[in-house]
Amino acid sequence: MPDKTDERQRICCKIYTQGETKMYLEEYKRWLAADLEDADLTPELSRIQGNDDEIKDRFAISLAFGTAGLRGVLGAGTNRMNIYVIRQATQGLANWVKTQGGNQTVAVSYDSRIKSDVFAKTAAGVLAANGINVRIYDALMPVPALSFATRYYQCNAGVMVTASHNPAKYNGYKAYGPDGCQMTDDAAAIVYEEIQKTDVLTGANYISFAEGVERGLIKFVGDDCKKAFYEAVESRQVRPGLCKTAGLKLVYSPLNGSGLVPVTQVLKDIGITDITIVPEQEYPNGYFTTCSYPNPEIYAALEKGLELAKATGADLMLATDPDADRVGIAMKCADGSYELVSGNEMGVLLLDYICAGRQEKGTMPAAPVAVKSLVSTPLADAVAAHYGVDMRNVLTGFKWIGDQIANLEAAGEVERFIFGFEESYGYLSGSYVRDKDAVVASMLICEMAAYYRSIGSSLKERLEAIYAQYGRYLNKVDSFEFPGLTGMDKMAAIMQNLRNDPPAEIAGVKVTEARDYKKPEETGLPAANVLYYVLESGETVIVRPSGTEPKVKIYYTTKGKDLAEATARKDMYDAAMKPIMG
């Protein structure tokens, strides 16, 4: 089966040929002449008049709509995020919803990004104009809260306005199915077809947000739903009551995003009260003035928090990204320094903690299941096997973890799911939502740190004990960017060249197995643009294009007697792969 998302991106990102050159200029002139409702757009269009490169960049292609929805730079044009592209996308979604029966309701949420609230209300206005009911949060709330509301109100779909951890100039639009999981390929393909039928400036039905409220079509998410979300998160405690007496000292940063209210609410509910918020990153600010890239995977995003942790002597520093579906931490070491914990390491720590704690408390279900993306560390497979947990490996993208939860639910066995994670700092415990949840992850990380503190240990000591027991694994990701209109073509050429001429060795180490995940008959998984190489050493090299950014990512898993040896082996493979990336 062909990869539908790849195909949609190929079509959406088509550059006009020479015979069609005037088409993007005509579209630009149409926008320039229109009476646009967003006051920011017309000055931008006037400013680029006569600049063919700038016009082409905005109008020669359209933002691709796939299972990850839309994501792009804010501004004027079909290749930008603005109210007209939002209207067009939402009309496509509305056309699909109207064929689905059910209660004809869509949940909507948004984060702190520039114009997120405007885009959320714009989407609500399109849905209401199509006779579809809307449940929208009255203030910014994160991805997991949107997923929860979609399930709570038995909606046909959900919309989250966010660009996750991208820089401030981006925004995006995530579409969810009725299960609270990101939209399936099949549903996204239908929405995409409907978007193509909708004129970007004039094709969407639309009424104002105020009119939608007056007509009773737009309602706010109720306190009952918010309370139920917090209760669902707090029900995932492994050792309830522990945090009230453990005395954990925490520094937390919501990175100017949507995590502040839900994360601090849950932590205080479970007994963690010594929380110092990073003041410069406390309140919503879509310009992210303290870190240009608000991604908890990188040091720069945690720098302010680390400074505060050192000043206060905190046990733990924690940061959630703007839409609060990812969380990163720095743990305190014995010498008083702080060490960042990778997504793979935290996934392993949480899996180990949940398994050991639930076995101790007698709350481990029969035949427990954990799920991770296939690019995440195989150390988690070893830990799962130790505790008798069935570890399932799925494609990258949390919807595939959600799909495993749905299968268990359909079989009446959803309680078997204990934990899921991706190396990109996304974690979930429980089936109440179907996407990454930094709220529950923050709670469990703090509980875990409090537990180890209470027994005279630490996160650092436990991680080192895990490495001593299972071996020193190292997982690193390298990203190669391919910006511009030809970026997609360059990425496709790299992947095709690797398929046409697969490497027999990497850095002199023989490739013993090459898996092409575009061949579901060979992998047993849905088709995906992923190449997976198993080396004679037992180490792995995985190549895949990002689904949301113009990047090709290479995932390395190496193993050594210590970190230095594992790092040296990673560097060796990295040097061999770089020329292939051009």
Say whether 327 sits in a helix, a strand or coil: strand
Catalytic residue from among 109, 112, 164, 431: 164
Q: Write out the two tokens for 255.
A: 């990175």
Known active-site residue 164: yes
User: What is the bridge-based pairing of β-strands 426-428 and 133-136?
Assistant: unpaired
Which residue pairs, CB below 8 angstroms and at least 24 apart, start in 150-154? 150/107, 150/176, 150/178, 150/179, 150/180, 151/179, 151/180, 151/432, 151/433, 151/434, 152/225, 152/228, 152/229, 153/103, 153/105, 153/107, 153/225, 154/102, 154/103, 154/105, 154/178
Instruction: Name the residue among 402, 343, 347, 374 with its Cα closest to residue 67.
Output: 402
**CA pair distance 39, 52, nearest whole angstrom:** 23
DSSP-derived letter for residue 74 is B
Query: 553-580: b or e for each residue (b if 16 or more CB lie within 10 Å)?
Result: bbbbbbbbeeeeebeebbeebbebbeeb
Q: Give strand pairing partners of 511.
A: 535
Locus of tokens 């005509």? 26
Locus of tokens 């449940």? 135
Please give the radius of gyration of the chain, using alpha carbons only, rounded to the nearest integer. 24
Q: Tell me the catalytic residues.
A: 164
